[in-house]
Amino acid sequence: MSIGSKLYYFDEIDSTNEFAKKIIGEAKDGTVILADTQTAGKGRLERTWYSPEGGIYMSIILFTDKPLMIPILASVAICETFYNNYDILLGIKWPNDLLLNDKKVAGILVEMVDLAIIMGLGINLNIAEFPEELQNTASSIFLETRKKLDKMMVVNDLFREIEKVYQLLQKGETGEILQKWRHYTIMFGKKVIIETPTGTISGKVIDIAGNGALVLSLPEGRIEKVLAGDCRIIKENKASL
């Protein structure tokens, strides 16, 4: 297995995750679908993903028996790519967002088809402007740092960093991946409201569990682990992001 040893490249596609679903039957571990733009980029929770020229839109097909770790793996690999190679420190917002100066610059959409995992990564690299409705919450690496990075170099760095973390996962060294996640996250100590599939929960973030669940301390002192949901961080009495 090597990330990107089989690569499908498109200048334009509807969605790299949707293309991955079409080829998954014959795909090998580490197959990558990469596009310059998407006409129907998908975000989490049925949202759309703004996908103009300048961003990185990539899906990677993985075969692992630890699917719950994939969002953690992807967040860590994106952070390591920008920190190790470009000295840019991104923050991980649970479950799937990467922030720079409090704005979202990358997102992760993980989908499962039978035993295969499609790890979709959207990175706002060199995007120079966003539609008005996204401007408060979204940004790009370029807008936040004024550095225009070479896209294919970043893609290659990503392949290398994903491969390193994926090897840790396949060897069962999840503790090391979680340590890296703890290093990059901005969640600890924050008060959050999480809309889960079974209801809303609110508390203070104290850790990440071995299965990728966020560990919350609730006002009444109870500890609760949340596996999935839409998370808002409460700031100075108002909700943000």
Please identify which residue in 120, 203, 212, 229 interacts with ligand BTN, judged by CB under 6 A. 120
In terms of CB distance, is 15 or 139 closer to ligand BTN?
Answer: 15
Helix and strand totals (H; E) in the chain: 5, 13
In terms of CB distance, is 135 or 179 closer to ligand BTN?
Answer: 135
Contact 143, 126 (CB under 8 A): no
Stretch near ligand BTN under the rule CB under 6 A, chosen from 1-9, 52-60, 125-133, 231-239: 52-60
Q: CB nearest ligand BTN: which residue?
A: 107
Is 42 near ligand BTN (CB under 6 A)? Answer: yes
In terms of CB distance, is 16 or 126 closer to ligand BTN?
Answer: 16
Distances (CA, A) of 148 to 17, 58, 79, 142: 26, 19, 17, 5
Please identify which residue in 4, 122, 203, 212 interacts with ligand BTN, judged by CB under 6 A. 122
Contact 38, 57 (CB under 8 A): yes
Please identify which residue in 32, 58, 158, 208 interacts with ligand BTN, judged by CB under 6 A. 58
Q: How far is the CB of 139 from ligand BTN (least distance, A)?
A: 13
Sign, CA dihedral 221-226-230-231, equals positive
Number of residues that bind ligand BTN (CB under 6 A): 21
The edge-to-edge listing of strands for the beta sheet with 214-217 is 223-226, 214-217, 199-208, 191-196, 230-235, 238-240
In terms of CB distance, is 109 or 169 closer to ligand BTN?
Answer: 109
Restricting to residues 59-78, which ones interact with ligand BTN according to CB under 6 A?
A: 59
Alpha carbon distance 16, 155 (integer Å): 15
* Residue whose structure tokens are 């334009």: 12
- ∠ CA 194-125-79, nearest 5°, is 55
Restricting to residues 136-175, which ones interact with ligand BTN according to CB under 6 A?
A: none
Stretch near ligand BTN under the rule CB under 6 A, chosen from 11-19, 174-182, 187-195, 227-235: 11-19
Residue 88: burial class (beta carbons within 10 Å; 0-12, 13-18, 19+):
middle
In terms of CB distance, is 39 or 179 closer to ligand BTN?
Answer: 39
Element (H, E) at 155: helix 151-170
Q: How far is the CB of 161 from ligand BTN (least distance, A)?
A: 17
Nearest to 151 by CA among 175, 127, 125, 177: 125
Is 91 near ligand BTN (CB under 6 A)? Answer: no
Which residues make up the interface to ligand BTN (CB under 6 A)?
15-17, 38, 41-44, 47, 49, 57-59, 96-97, 107-109, 120-122
